[in-house]
Amino acid sequence: MLYRRINHVALLLNLLQVVIDACACLGGFAFAFWLYKDTRLLESLKAQEHVPHSEHYYFVAAAFTAIVLLSFAVKHLYQSRETGLMNMDEAVAVMQGLFFSFAVVITGTFFLPKTSTAPMSRLILGLGAFLGSVLLMAGRVLGYKLRRYLQARGHFFRRVIICGAGEAGRTIARKLLHSPKFHIRPVAFLDDDKAKQNTEVECLTGHQPIPVAGRVHQLDEAIQKYDAHEVWIAITRADQNTIIDIALAAGERGVPCRFVPNLYQIPLQSLTVETLGGVPLLSIKPRATVQKMPVVKRAFDVVFSAVVLFNPVTLILWPLIALLVRATSPGPAVFKQERVGQGGRVFTMYKFRTMHAYAPVYAKTPQHPLDARITPVGRWLRKLSIDELPQFWNVLRGDMSVVGPRPEMPQIVATYNSIQRQRLCVKPGITGIWQISADRKNPIHENIDYDLYYIEKQSFFLDLMIILSTGVYGARGV
């Protein structure tokens, strides 16, 4: 009965998302036409004799909306499913669907019959599709926050107890919290480690820490206390008897039990699950090798970097920032440091100097804005990420890309294991998934899942999504 009720709520939320997406698309066209017809903002775009009637745009607006909804349905965006790290799979699918719908609608307008009284403006159509896309993405964010709100309060979510508060258990909990579409909420850990008793585990920033409710043999009490609906086993070193005992204890309470197999410290992004004749198999993906940069990605890097470096605003900022850095602390305005790039090649990376000149060049990166090594001006530069502007010169030179894994210092790369060295298969980037994640406060090489995910999934739309997200974080000063 519980699962049926939760599934009904999930279905209603998915239907609500369909309605929000449709209203956003139609609202974008309505707003565009209002800007054109009733305001002076687009005065220069208006026809001199005639203003087109809104009825002429109903068909195009409806077609754009229908294509968007259909493309989203084909990409399973209205289902409860895995959405990848930080919901990136869903975000990229949304951008692809919008781009495809926009291209179809704009192309289709060339085949529409022309009206003699008021020619249809493709500028209005383009603006309507753009505004509709912005509203739709805002609606998607609100839908995600609604699910997160319900998840945080336990409404319409299955409550799960995770046996094992180690790396595997924390990873599973973090993924569940990241993906509220699953309608599963981890409420407690059980672990036999004495050091973890009566502690709380912070799995994801913005969520309440999850308590370690006791030892594994106290499962029966924990199920009653937290009114748990499921038990998941994530003890990587558990023997067969322990697993059977947990499953039997859960079964006596009528609670389903799931088992997370031993990952042997292999990152989750390196594993795939498939079945052969009904037998589940875990497959380890082949190790990534050095990849040749796609022509489209390199062209985008060059154009984007040139625009950033040589636009009038940046050309004014460069000397002003350099003067501020030099005036507030002795030393050069630009900081240079050797980093390791694609294939292990060492290059010189440039940044505006944010620390005092006496600070060791290869010391640990400051983790707090009040670190004594950071200059007063440097705090603002780091907060707004302006200190990384000179790295676009590295992109133009071909040392780096706009999006990719962050380049590490040589002494850290020297300690890499075989899995971590896969970060060197692609060009390092100024920004990436790790930089817009809650784990950006942790060392780069300790969050290999983000880099492996990017190496496997990299595409133009994923890069665009990361750049847009980085812009939002930068504007918020995060």
Residue 393 has what pLDDT?
Answer: 95
Instruction: For residue 429, give the 3-state DSSP assignment.
Output: strand
- Choose the weakest-confidence range: 267-276, 309-318, 407-416: 267-276
- 22 pLDDT band, cuts 50/70/90, is very high
Parse the chain into domains and list their residue ranges. Answer: 2-152, 158-265, 295-476
Q: What pLDDT score was predicted for residue 363?
A: 76
What pLDDT score does 49 carry? 42
With the C-alpha atoms ordered 50, 54, 58, 60, is the resulting torsion angle positive or negative?
A: positive
| Mean pLDDT, residues 397-408 taken together | 93
Residue predicted with more confidence, 466 or 121 = 466
The model's confidence at residue 204, banded by pLDDT at 50, 70 and 90, is confident
Whether this model's pTM surpasses 0.95? no
Most confident of 31-35, 205-209, 323-327, 356-360: 323-327
Check: CB of residue 285 under 8 Å from CB of residue 272.
yes
Return the SS3 of 12.
Answer: helix
pLDDT digits (tens, 9 = 90+) for 55-102: 667 888 888 899 999 999 998 888 776 665 667 888 888 888 889 988
Return d(Cα 387, Cα 335) in angstroms, integer: 9
What is the structure's pLDDT at 451? 86
Question: Looking at 179-188, 306-315, 331-340, 358-367, which range is the least confident one?
Answer: 358-367
According to DSSP, residue 181 is labeled G
Select the highest-mean-pLDDT range: 136-140, 157-161, 389-393, 462-466: 389-393
Flag whether pLDDT at 206 surpasses 90.
no
Q: Is the pLDDT of residue 438 over 80?
A: no
Neighbours of 158 (CB within 10 A): 18
What's the rounded Cα separation, in Å, for the pair 29 and 24?
9
Strand 200-201 and strand 210-211: pairing? antiparallel
Average pLDDT over residues 44-61: 61
The mean pLDDT of the chain is 82
Residue 36 neighbours by CB under 8 Å, 6+ apart: 42, 45, 46, 51, 121, 124, 127
Least confident of 4-13, 48-57, 119-128, 449-458: 48-57
Tokens representing residue 322 in the block: 């350099």
Q: Architecture of domain 158-265 in CATH? A: 3-Layer(aba) Sandwich (3.40)
> pLDDT value at position 300?
93
